[in-house]
Amino acid sequence: MNQFEFTAVGVIESPYKQKFAIPRQPGLIAEARGQLVLSPPFADDAIVRGIDSFSHLWLVFVFHETADKGWSPLVRPPRLGGNEKKGVFATRATFRPNPIGLSVVKLDGVERRGEQLVLKLSGIDLLDGTPVLDIKPYLPYADALPNAASGFADAAPQTDMTVSMSEQAIEFCRKQHALPDLQVFIEKVLKQDPRPPYKKQRQDTQSYGMNLYNFNIKWTVDGDHNHVTEIRIQQQDDAQTT
Per-residue b or e along 111-122, where b marks 16 or more CB atoms closer than 10 Å to that residue's CB: eeeeebbbbebb
What average pLDDT does range 65-88 have in this prediction? 85
- Give the DSSP H/E element, type plus range, for residue 185: helix 182-191
Beta strand 131-137 pairing with 116-122: unpaired
Q: How far is CA 107 from CA 30, 91, 156, 194, in A?
A: 12, 26, 21, 25
The residues with which 35 forms a beta bridge, in sequence order, are: 13, 120
- The model carries a pTM of 0.88
- Chain segment 105-162, per-residue pLDDT in tens: 999 999 999 999 999 999 999 999 999 999 999 999 999 888 888 887 777 777 789 9
CA distance 184 to 30: 10
- Chain segment 45-60, per-residue pLDDT in tens: 999 999 999 999 999 9
pLDDT above 60: residue 202? yes
The residues with which 16 forms a beta bridge, in sequence order, are: 212
- HEC string for 7-69: CCCEEEECCECCCCCCCCCCCCCCCCEEEEEECCCCCCHHHHCCHHHCCEEEEEEECCCCHHH
Quickly count: other Cβ atoms within 10 Å of residue 210's Cβ: 24
